[in-house]
Copies of this chain bind each other. A is one copy, B any other.
Amino acid sequence: MSGPAALSGVMPTLGTMRPDDTAAATGRGTFPGLITREKEPLNLEFPFPTLEAPLVPTNRFYIRSHFPIPQLDTTSWRLHIGGEVREELNISYDELQNMPSKTVTATLECAGNGRARLTPKAKGLLWEQGAVGNAEWTGVPLSALLARAGIKAEAVEVIFEGADQGEIKEEPKSPGVIHFARSLPLAKANQGEVLVVYLMNGKPLSPEHGFPVRLVVPGWYGMASVKWLHKITVSATPFEGYWQTIEYAYWRREHGQPALTAITEMQVKAEIARPALHEVIPIGQPYRIFGAAWTGESEVTCVDVSTDNGSTWQPAELLDASTPFAWRMWEMTWTPHAPGRYTLMARATDRAGHTQPTEHTPDRRTYMINRISAVEVTAQ
Number of copies: 2
A18 within 8 A of B: no
Could you tell me if B258 and A233 are in contact, using CB atoms closer than 8 angstroms?
A: no
Q: Which residue of B lies closest to A234 (CB)?
A: B255
Could you tell me if B242 and A255 are in contact, using CB atoms closer than 8 angstroms?
A: no
Q: Give the contact stretch, choosing among A71-79, A174-182, A201-209.
A: A174-182
Interface bracket on A: 35 or more
Could you tell me if A246 and B172 are in contact, using CB atoms closer than 8 angstroms?
A: yes
A159 within 8 A of B: yes
A359 to B181, CA, bound (A): 27
A173 to B367, CA, bound (A): 13
A362 to B249, CA, bound (A): 22
A39 within 8 A of B: no
A66 to chain B, nearest CB (A): 15
Known A-B contacts A171-B171, A362-B176, A365-B172; A260 and B240 likewise in contact (beta carbons under 8 Å): yes
Known A-B contacts A171-B171, A172-B172, A251-B175; A159 and B362 likewise in contact (beta carbons under 8 Å): no
A178 to B258, CA, bound (A): 8
Mind listing 11 A-B residue pairs with CB under 8 Å? A123-B171, A159-B257, A173-B365, A174-B258, A175-B362, A179-B257, A233-B257, A235-B254, A235-B255, A239-B254, A244-B260
